[in-house]
Structure 1
């Protein structure tokens, strides 16, 4: 049939337009309705994950973009059925992730890639249907398999990067440091050397089991449950506010669930509203008991706030994250019995090969350390991986796989007027020349003495010329690539 021209309002709101119905291609009206519900819940969870990200970085008011991102996330939670609100939200997230480059956190990189895939899927469906009206269920079923592929890819590299001598060395391993820090803060686990060593193998085992289990329908819910518990515990580590990463992963786990989980969430939500209404009507009746309960509730809340304020320095982690994550896990456990309603679901089936562009980029991003490219934002966080200076501590991948020379060109700082560079020298840390040059170019220290390729050099800002090697570089490469520091001697210790 011919498609009439769209007005501006129709094109951006899809008001009154229904040129096609994906219900005709769906298995049943019941499944279609459940999938609509799943789409709305995912939009809410995806928006909530960005709130946790901004809470960790105290970013609610850092700049206008963060403010707009916060506002768009809240707007999407208020009306998750709005495609316009979703597109505004994910566009702002992509913009912010690009602005943060090359210091974009790993989970924020993953979130940006998922959002790029949603936009790509939306454009693909516009071209396919020749309409600006895109059925939300079809949109979900188009981008969800691609997001799942990206989750598996990130887990693969999270494990693969850790297969190195540093991570399995109890004196240097991030797994040991994480457990010691968590135990020093909460002080309820034994800290024997045996337990610390076992945690290395337990970390590898859990991170390998999660993607393996969720790849298969029969074990998927057990894999998700294991992942939920793992990331729930990890979020309480005082080293970092890992609840931002955990919230993102939990939202993406939701895409692996069957419609029964969405129905369970909605059921719990409706029951909560009914109970709330009943309790409210009961408490509105004035009597001595109700007045006493109200007064005691206020007093109890104030006492609890006072205790939390004195005991914990991160209320968002211990109050907001705890309430959110525990509720999510409980509802998920309650839904596990009804997990077989999507037996014919094909988890990783994609609509068109062109939609694999972003997942492939996600995989290539994880390969960067072994290709001689960047070592930050490549899912190698806290892995003890060392690939710089023509050597590697990885058990499988040799240094000879590096087809780019960025990591081979390294610098040892001898002394500097710059506090960061001087600390590198005192702590026996080295830098890739690419990263060293970026730091000098940006911060312009008065002087720095360094050794590059066996040659000792001195940079003095007052005598520097415009063509000095430390003033060179490409804006695009500087924006895309970032390298961590590494230790001159011994195992690579725990760093981001």
Structure 2
């Protein structure tokens, strides 16, 4: 009997496995064929329908088997001469155990090749790689601005190690955006940072966290199934698309309230008045109403265009320009949210559009120049200047410095991004849609939390004038529906504070605090002493020890509070714009 074993010679597990089994002692004539060095046999197996990245192929007496069947056959033919052979024979000679355990071996092999950067045998999907390259470029840009935002606007300087790691990985990915491993590394350090930094009220961080969730679900599914590396992105993209659509939906829905629709209090007007000259000079009622209702029209129109194959590329550009315009307002550092939204908009580019954009003269010239030492030096100078401008809190200029990247990219999308082909190819739709549906549903539910009377932070209610706390509900639709939970009804006002984090008194000027949030604050800062008013009664010099019973019976575990938390309550009447 002759035995042919086709295996991946670059896989350290496969290599050692076939050599340690000592098949020649029992099977006689054994040929070990490294598929990396045997293109003819490799192509023959591919033509016969074998996915060579799912494991080795074994041939005997003209019959070829792969995967768990191949491992089972090798186990049956191996000798008990060594400990490894005895274990292998005992476990994998059972067809049932081979079927159950082989996916773990396959996943281990896949992860090893991925981490070591050893290419897969099967050809990768160029269209998916083009989409991943564009997303990698933009997500790295966002990640750098995210680091920049936290280091400067939130005054976390010097930055913590997790933020430094994000910045380093972002820069590396920016110069090598096609690298699946660098994107993996950036996603990994971003996930660690998300856990370390939580809870925070930043909405763009919540959007990013949903993107991270979608990526990891896709990554582990792809690893377990042993699929192509490009499938990580293909399976993940609908999750990012869903996150963007949910962001738009609630960006509209939360604003349907009396505060946002009132020009005297609307965040739309507040942001407009912080626009650079000459825009902010147009401070007339007509402009105020245009800013308010134009927000609904533009965001709603972008959603509709993203669903249209013919207008999708126009919708992408409109979304990019709309969020860039918002970032010009000096009201807050919006550039991190803007760059994240740009990355998510570009997930709506299909494979044909992505290839055309990636291979365009403009994009190839940009890629080539980013390897030029002169341009690298110019980029370093620009980053230094960016920090200087950011420290002066000139957010308009920060955005202006990003225009040399944003505007040409928009032009490129207009010129090369038009395509009526679907976002997902036939035969590759089920898994991406399932992952996308899971992430989109979770994000949607998260954004409905204020109307349930639950958490209010990170629900995409930024700049919306929404108020649902303390028995007040200014939403024109949801005010008629009673919230089933009462967390948001219990609001306190802080009179004074002493000890660590005592600056909450200045943070809460004309603002209140959900009582649950106060208890969490005290629990995390046992030495903090607070005087507050609750239901008209003043509680003086209260600490975690004095409120131990309330803390024990009210608060959830610390890990849950990283998600379940609250923003400060705007107590002004009428409700004015608050970040």
Are positions 1:34 and 2:115 aligned together?
no
Match of 2:512 in 1: 430
- SS state at 1:491 partner: coil
Alignment partner of 2:431 out of 334, 351, 368: 351
**Residue 98 (str. 1) matches residue 181 (str. 2):** no
C-alpha distance in structure 2 between counterparts of 1:234 and 1:103, whole Å: 22
Largest Rg, 1 or 2:
2
1:141-290 correspondence runs (5 A): 141-183=234-276, 189-258=281-350, 259-269=352-362, 272=365
Cα distance, 1:276–1:81 mapped onto 2, change above 3 Å: closer
Q: Secondary structure at the match of 2:258?
A: coil
Question: Which residue among 193, 199, 207 is the counterpart of 1:110?
Answer: 207
1:140 aligns to 2:233 (yes or no): yes
**Equivalent position of 1:483 in the other structure:** 566
TM-score, normalisation: structure 2: 0.69
Instruction: Tell me how far 1:93 sits from its aligned partner.
Output: 0.8
| 2:477 maps to 1:404 | no
**Deviations 1:213-243, CA, capped at 9 Å, x for gaps:** 2122122222222212111111111122211
Q: Is the 8 A contact 2:468 2:488 kept in 1?
A: yes
Which moves more between the two structures, 160-169 or 448-457?
A: 448-457
1:459 is paired with a residue whose SS is strand
Equivalence for 1:286:
none
1:214–1:223 Cα contact (<8 Å) kept: yes
Counterpart in the other structure of 1:379: 460
Partner Cα distance (2:300, 2:363) in 1: 37
Distance 2:452 2:220 in 1: 32
2:540 aligned to which of 458, 464, 467: 458
SS where residue 116 of structure 1 aligns? helix
Residue of structure 1 in register with 2:40 after alignment? none
Structure 2: distance between partners of 1:388 and 1:315: 32
Residue 119 of structure 1: aligned partner = 216
In 2, the alpha carbon distance for the partners of 1:137 and 1:422 equals 50
Contact 1:34–1:263 (8 Å) recurs in 2: no
Could you tell me whether the CA contact under 8 Å between 1:49 and 1:244 is conserved in 2?
A: yes
After TM superposition, give the deviation of residue 445 of structure 1 in Å. Answer: 7.4
SS state of the match for residue 274, structure 2? helix
1:453-491 deviation digits (Å, cap 9, x = unpaired):
343322355x95473646873323432222223344522
What CA distance in whole angstroms lies between the structure 1 residues aligned with 2:393 and 2:559? 42
In structure 1, the residue matched to 2:60 is none
Aligned with residue 2 of structure 1, among 59, 62, 66? 66
Q: Residue 163 of structure 2 is aligned with which of 66, 72, 81?
A: 66
Q: Structure 2 vs 1, CA of residues 351 and 478 (structure 1 numbering), >3 Å: closer, same or farther?
A: closer
Q: Give 1:322 deviation, angstroms.
A: 1.8
Q: Separation in 2 of the partners of 1:484 and 1:275? A: 45
Q: Over the residues paired in the alignment, what is the CA RMSD in angstroms? A: 3.7
Give CA-to-partner distance per residue, 1:332-354, whole Å, 9 cap, x none: 22225x433559868x9542675
Q: Unpaired segments of 5 or more residues in structure 2? A: 1-64, 72-104
| 1:102-129 Cα deviation digits (max 9, x unpaired) | 21522222122112212211222233x3
- The answer to which structure, 1 or 2, has the higher relative contact order (CA under 8 A, 6+ apart) is 1
Please report how far the alpha carbon of residue 436 of structure 1 lies from its aligned counterpart in structure 2 after TM superposition.
2.4
Distance 1:423 1:68 in 2: 32
Report deviation, 1:420: 4.3
* Length-normalised TM-score, structure 1: 0.80
Residues 82-111 of structure 1: per-residue CA shift (max 9 Å, x gap): 333222210111111222212152222212
Between 393-402 and 234-243, report the one with greater CA deviation: 393-402
> How far apart, CA to CA, are the structure 2 residues paired with 1:411 and 1:439?
13
